[in-house]
Amino acid sequence: MQLDYKRIDFDTKWILNGSKSIIYRESINSTLSIALDKEHQVNDKGKVVITDSQTSGKGTHGKQWISTPYKDLTFSIILGNNNNFGQKLIDECCLAMVHVLSSYGMKASIKPPNDIYINNKKIVGMLLSNIQSRGLENKTYQALSIGMNVNSTIDIKTIDVGAKVSSTSVLLELGKEVNREALLKLIIEKIDPAIQKQGYL
């Protein structure tokens, strides 16, 4: 089922709130293609780019993040160029994600530098991406991407022979589907203080 993003209203301070805080595309190669676009970086800082079907999601070290269309959460937050975010932001956001999963009754752990595991199976991956502007401007634009296995049932090792670990999802852990809109709202509101802590508007 398509994400009902128009009904989501974030209670946030750094990430934009209200009905215009989300840039939604039903299908796209990667949310990063929008989040790192210079025009969006300048005009849409603090917005969340999200899709229901990400065909070429980006993972760590050039790997692909594989998600199930209309089942999982794949999104990027436009961070702009005012802050030089680094690993500390990822660390804080990983802690936030552990708390999110805990609120659903799941015990998760952080696998440095940027993954969340449950019972030695990956459930969340994060990526902090940079792009350098050309010419005299010489600015570094940033975006934070998160992929979370929510209502999918596929183990990554069954479709990627190169995968070193198995994956799990909220559905597989709880035995039932969860509301993606409510989960997204909770994630964004837990991550927002982490971004506030590391940077300024």
Q: What are the tens digits of pLDDT across the range 62-91?
A: 566 789 999 999 999 999 998 999 999 999
Q: What is the pLDDT of residue 59?
A: 62
113's tokens: 């530098």
| 110: CB partners within 8 A, 6+ apart | 91, 94, 95, 98, 116, 117
Quick: pLDDT tens for 25-60.
999 999 999 999 999 999 999 999 999 999 876 666
Query: Poorest-confidence range of 16-30, 86-100, 119-133, 158-172?
Result: 158-172
CATH class belonging to 5-198: alpha beta
Beta bridge mates, 110: 116
Q: What is the pLDDT of residue 200?
A: 65
Q: How confident is the model at residue 24 (pLDDT cuts 50, 70, 90)?
A: very high
Quick one: average pLDDT of 88-97?
A: 96
Q: How large is the greatest C-alpha to C-alpha distance in the chain, in angstroms?
A: 54
**How would you write 20-52 as a 3-class SS string?**
CCEEEEEEECCCHHHHCCHHHHHHCCCCEEEEE
Q: Where are the domains of the chain?
A: 5-198
Q: What is the pLDDT of residue 86?
A: 94
